[in-house]
Amino acid sequence: MGCTPESFKKRTKMDEENQLNQTLKPRHLHMIAIGGSIGAGLFVGSGSALSRGGPAALLIDFMIIGVMMFNVVYALGELAVMYPVSGGFYTYSTRFIDPSWGFAMGWNYVFQWAIVLPLELTVASFTVEYWGTTVNVGVWITVFLVAIILINVFGVLGFGEEEFWSSVLKLAAIVIFMIIALVLVLGGGPSNGLYSEYWGARNWYNPGAFANGFKGVCSVFVTAAFAFSGTELVGLAAAESENPARSLPGAVKQVFWRITLFYIISLLFVGLLVRYDDERLLGANPFIDVNASPFVLAAKDAGLIGFDSFMNVVILVSVISIGNSGVYGGSRTLTALAEQGYAPKIFAYIDRSGRPLFSTLFIIAFGFLAYITLDANGPTVFDWLLALSGLAALFTWGSICLAHIRFRAAWKHQGHTIDEIPFQSITGVTGSYIGLAIIFLVLVAQFYIAIFPLGGTPSAEGFFKAYLALPVVLFFWGAGYLWKREGWLRTSQIDIDTGRREVDWDVINAERAKVASWPIWRRWLNLIV
């Protein structure tokens, strides 16, 4: 379990393609896919998005980002089943697009998660204050940081178990909320609350479906993207699963249900129950305020005693889970960078328990930035830290789509057919083009909001807080080119053979023949289950 001094010594013999442990089980991957990234972005961030855009904008934007994520995850699944390498999508950018761009995406992803860790520790500490505790915030930061360190002592198995059980709690909470919300919309709430008579869609008429018009719709996109951040971790975790070729396709299919059930339907109920002009949605805390969660507001207005505390526990578990995901995602990507010569070699060190030791310590060290909160200027510092990683996930997702497009082009160029790909994206290359187009539109919408902010006056500070991630990525891209002197790969230069998984075609063909014999409705169901 990695708890002896001997376990921290360097691993010497293992698969040359992957020194990490392959101990994640299908249940871990499925839960990472279906509930891993559900956190404060959905539970609390949806409140500020509702106030800026209204219930219709909330649904439209989350559905558009959901379509994009569906295509991104399927593209990633196809690549990860073919090339199960540690470091996942960063290595695909290097291999199929441009080594310099891969360098940029790798470091961009590392710093994205390194900055998320102290933010989530801070959020968790403020979430505890909901119960009126007088304990200093710094004490809670220490408690949660120690908890994350202890989880990571157990390596990928610790991460997998923590993600499994926290996802179970999050999904249970959303299912409970949706059942309660349906009853409230139909007027079955307690007599001491607002929803004791038929409620219906009255909030869509008064105050209305949209707040702030087109600009409001544009402003919600980044919140929606933030709420989906971490979805791609299932591809990263595949390298440490027992049998990625079998478990990853099933995990990828779960993303459809998460987008449909746990995001779209729950946010539909949020828009039905909570008015977008409710001042409580704005919150009072510069980091996060559970009182501003529309899930909590709906429970309070319904007169449901104790449900707000239950949701607060769920939010607390969620943010700690996302912080732990930050350590996992950042450390694995940093290790892959080191293995490819894009980072100091010390970060390629993997101990006998399969932990990327120095990479994990490097990411955890960023957790100490959370103590900046204790200073009066803490919120200002965090604003700029967030600006560094605000759009980082969009660049990562766009790179996955582009890598998939380039892989398919090279695959065809070298005389292969689609039938030779063991797991195929449902929407194929078209889906990746759609995903890429949506990401471009979101970046344009964010640029528009950065220049013409909602409810404020344009300023250089506001623009860079909204768009600082772009020059940072371009800086990394330039640095990667100066270091490696390698640029855009021609289709003929792309290597599609090295590290490709050996496939048992007898088993796959038998499975395909079995599926082909099913009725049409069952074949369609098989695509998403």
Mean pLDDT across the stretch 141-164?
Answer: 86
Residue 209 has pLDDT above 50, yes or no: yes
Q: What is the DSSP letter of 98?
A: -
Q: Domain range holding 177?
A: 28-528
Cα within 13 Å of Cα(462), Cβ side? 14
List 241's β-bridge partners, or say none: 24
497: in domain: yes
Task: Give per-residue pLDDT as tens, 442-478.
Answer: 899 888 888 888 877 888 877 887 787 788 888 888 8
pLDDT for 403: 93
Strands annotated E in 425-501: none
Contact 221, 445 (CB under 8 A): yes
User: What residues pair up with 10 in beta bridges, in sequence order?
Assistant: 351
Report, as an integer, the average pLDDT of 144-154.
88
Task: Specify whether the CB–CB gap between 178 and 273 falls below 8 A.
Answer: no
Model confidence pLDDT, tens digit, residues 40-83: 778 888 888 899 899 999 999 999 998 998 899 889 888 888 88
| CA–CA dist 360, 363 (Å, integer) | 5
Specify if 186 maps to a domain: yes
Give the type of residue at 404. H
d(CA 352, CA 445): 47
Mean pLDDT lowest among 10-19, 218-227, 362-371: 10-19
* pLDDT attached to residue 15: 46
Is residue 12 pLDDT above 70, yes or no? Answer: no
Residue 20 lies in a domain: no
Tell me, yes or no, whether 207 lies in a domain: yes
Per-residue pLDDT of 427-445, as tens digits, reads 899 999 999 999 999 899 8
Give residue 14's pLDDT band: very low, low, confident or very high (50, 70, 90).
low
Angle at 174 between CA 116 and CA 23, to 5 degrees: 60
> HSE-up of 42 (CA within 13 Å, CB side)?
33
Task: State both tokens at 118.
Answer: 């102290």
379 located within any domain? yes
Residue 8 maps to a domain: no
Model pLDDT, residue 399: 92
Q: Are 70 and 401 in contact (CB under 8 A)?
A: no
| 137 touches 117 (CB < 8 A) | no
Rounded to whole angstroms, the Cα distance separating 503 from 246 reads 11
CATH at residue 301: 1.20.1740.10
Token pair for residue 136? 């200093």
Number of other residues whose CB lies within 10 A of the CB of residue 194: 15
Closest CA to 155 of 337, 21, 35: 21
- Structural domain includes residue 16: no
Residue 229: Cβ within 10 Å count: 24
More confident of the two residues 273 and 484: 273
Extract the tokens encoding 37. Answer: 């990234």
Average pLDDT, the chain: 82
Report H helices in 83-154. 89-96, 99-128, 137-153
User: Domains in the chain: how many in total?
Assistant: 1
Shortest CA distance to 266 belongs to which of 314, 333, 317? 314
CA–CA separation, 163 and 157 (whole Å): 10
Q: Let me know if residue 15 belongs to a domain.
A: no
